[in-house]
Structure 1
Amino acid sequence: MLVLRLDADTVSRTRLSPSPAAESVAWLKLAAGSRRHPVFGDPGPLARASLAHPDVALLAELLPQNGDTYTPDLLTPQPGTDAQGHGLLDEQVARIEATAQDELETQVFTHTRTHWSRPLRAVTRRIAESGRMQRRLANGLARFWRDTLADGWPRLRSIMDQDIAHRATAIATYGVGRVLGALHPDIEWTGDAVTLAKSWDGEIDVTGRDLVLVPGVLNWPHVVIQVDVPGQFVLYYPAQRVGAGRDRGFGGIAQVVGNARAALLADLETARSTAELATRTGYSPGTVSYHLGALHRARLVTKVRDGRYVLYQRTAQAARLLEER
């Protein structure tokens, strides 16, 4: 059993927040490992296509593989207090880029050597030692978010917001302690500590730290703690209602994330230009172009030049994905 010792200061600074970075990393972990989410299924072609970007691939290189459990905390910074999803992500991306070099080396070199069954690749080590890794990881997270989750974030956020509202009501009614003890069957509140059922025993002093409780959707159903960054204590727990029958209709995120891309694919049974799609869908030409680029990298649309225009048309794979929605 793992025991996390708290004091009144930490309890008084407890808050709830979604974490776009944690959701992105969870989805990337599934895509990189060719695994499926127990509810939302295959991360899909957009996620796999994003892995071709070198900064996204570098981010994936620092994720656990083959049964390893350690993920460097710097990849999922403690969420701030911005109420908007994109603001939260921007702050987390900035925190990754601002990671101190000694902290990065501790997590990437020392902690992976302790907790991973594989050695860090020499090329990854050189990037970390060069001082360029922070910027590349930040860019990789932002890129993967844009490619796979940004357009569908409101749907993810609504699940997390419902959970947060439920917990906030419970705090107002019963107090923080009752809520800490009700997050998950593996989590208990003893009055001065949070205990987690683990296969190994240990005790960590987290007194005087901020405690952020983060509901997880794409990392559902796992319970994860984050304590390596001084002053921070993040507890990820499974959001309520994920896996209920009605949530399985959300499985479209596993195929084509978000309404904008789905709308474009639905309108591409016939080959059309960017300008024509913008007129028909109401999106700006820049937005249409961006989404078409992501869909083309994922091999969900083809493109051919016809005189002055480039015409896009959905592939057979995209048609199948639309039918599954």
Structure 2
Amino acid sequence: MLTLRVDADTVSRTRLSPSPASESMAWLKLAAASGCHPVFGDPGPLARASLAHPDVALLADLLPQNGDTYTPDMLTPQPGTDAQRRDLLDEQIAQIEATAQDDLETQVFTYTRTHWSRPLPATTRRIAESGRMQRRLANGLARFWRDTLADGWPELRSIIDQDIAHRATAIATHGVGRALGALHPDIEWAGDAVTLATSWDGEIDVTGRDLVLAPGVLTRPDVVIQVDVPGQFVLYYPAQRIGAGRDRRSGGIAQVVGNVRATLLADLEAARSTAELATRIGYTPGTVSYHLSALHRARLVTKVRDGRFVLYQRTAQAARLLEEARD
């Protein structure tokens, strides 16, 4: 059992927040390992195509593999306090880029050597030593988010916000301690500590820190404690009602992330230009072009030049995905 000692200051500073960075890392980990989410299924071709970008691949190199559990905390910075939650991801990306070199080397070199069963790739080590890793990791997260999760985030955030509302009501009604003990069967409140059922025993003093409770959707079913960064204490737990009302056969964001790309694919039974698609679906040509580029990288659309125009059409793979979603 892992025991995390807290004090009144920690309890008084307990808050709830989404973590777009942790959701991104969970989705990236599944994509890199060819895994499947228990509700949303296969991350899909868009996520795998994004892995071809060198900065996204660098992020994946720092994620645990083959049963390892440690993920460098700098990849999932403690969420800030933006009330509107519009800038949470931007804040987290900025925190990654601002990671001190000493902290980066401790997490990337020392902690991976302790917790991983594989060595750190030599190329990854060289990038870390160069001082350029922070900027590249920040860029990789921004790129993976745009390619795979940006359009589907409102659906995920809705699930997270419902869980936050439920926990907030529980705190107001029953108090912080009882609410902490109800987060997950592996988590208990011991009066002066949060305990987590683990395969090893240990105790960590987290007194005086903020405690951020971060409900997760794509991180399901994992419960994760983040305490390696001084002053930070984040407890990730599965949000309630993940998949409620969802037809699991459809795959949802697992097949094509977001309504815009799904709409484009549905309209690309016939070959169409960017301008025509923009008129038909009511988005700007720039927005349509961006999404078509992502779909093309994922081999879900083809493109051919016809005079002054480039025409796009969905591939047989995309047609199969749409058909599966309708069944």
Whether the TM-score (by the shorter chain) exceeds 0.5 is yes
SS in 2 for 1:214: strand
Assess if the C-alpha contact under 8 Å between 1:3 and 1:203 holds in 2: yes
The answer to whether structure 1 residue 308 and structure 2 residue 315 are counterparts is: no
Q: Match of 1:27? A: 27
Offset of residue 261 of structure 1: 0.4
Q: Deviations over 1:27-71 (max 9, x none)?
A: 000000111111111000000000000000000000001111100
Assess if the C-alpha contact under 8 Å between 2:249 and 2:324 holds in 1: no
Q: What 5-or-longer segments of structure 1 have no aligned partner? A: none
Structure 1 residue ranges (4+ consecutive) displaced by more than 3 angstroms after TM superposition: 83-86, 243-250
Q: Distance in 2 between matches of 1:51 and 1:295?
A: 14
Identity %: 88
SS in 1 for 2:215: strand
Q: Match of 1:162? A: 162
The TM-score with structure 2 as length reference comes to: 0.98
The answer to whether structure 1 residue 62 and structure 2 residue 62 are counterparts is: yes
The residue type paired with residue 229 of structure 1 is V
Offset of residue 248 of structure 1: 3.2
Offset of residue 242 of structure 1: 1.6
The residue type paired with residue 10 of structure 1 is T
SS in 2 for 1:66: coil
Listed as ranges, the matches of 1:178-197 within 5 Å are 178-197=178-197
Q: Match of 1:199? A: 199
Assess if the C-alpha contact under 8 Å between 1:85 and 1:153 holds in 2: no
Q: Distance in 2 between matches of 1:86 and 1:132?
A: 27
Offset of residue 245 of structure 1: 5.7
Assess if the C-alpha contact under 8 Å between 1:31 and 1:43 holds in 2: yes
Q: Match of 2:251? A: 251
Listed as ranges, the matches of 1:31-46 within 5 Å are 31-46=31-46
Q: Distance in 2 between matches of 1:87 and 1:287?
A: 20
Change (3 A) 1:175 1:236: same
SS in 1 for 2:263: helix
Q: Distance in 2 between matches of 1:225 and 1:20?
A: 16
Number of corresponding residues: 325
Offset of residue 251 of structure 1: 2.7
Q: Match of 2:149? A: 149
The residue type paired with residue 63 of structure 1 is L
Q: Distance in 1 between matches of 2:312 and 2:274?
A: 8
The residue type paired with residue 168 of structure 2 is A
SS in 2 for 1:232: coil
Assess if the C-alpha contact under 8 Å between 1:302 and 1:314 holds in 2: yes
Q: What 5-or-longer segments of structure 2 have no aligned partner? A: none
Assess if the C-alpha contact under 8 Å between 2:250 and 2:324 holds in 1: no
Q: Distance in 1 between matches of 2:18 and 2:50?
A: 23
Q: Distance in 1 between matches of 2:120 and 2:291?
A: 34
Q: Match of 1:317? A: 317
SS in 1 for 2:203: strand
Assess if the C-alpha contact under 8 Å between 1:93 and 1:138 holds in 2: yes
Q: Distance in 2 between matches of 1:25 and 1:258?
A: 18
Q: Match of 1:133? A: 133
SS in 1 for 2:124: helix
The residue type paired with residue 184 of structure 1 is H
Q: Deviations over 1:300-322 (max 9, x none)?
A: 00000000000000011111111
Offset of residue 250 of structure 1: 7.1
The residue type paired with residue 107 of structure 1 is Q
Change (3 A) 1:230 1:250: farther
Assess if the C-alpha contact under 8 Å between 1:23 and 1:217 holds in 2: yes
Offset of residue 12 of structure 1: 0.3
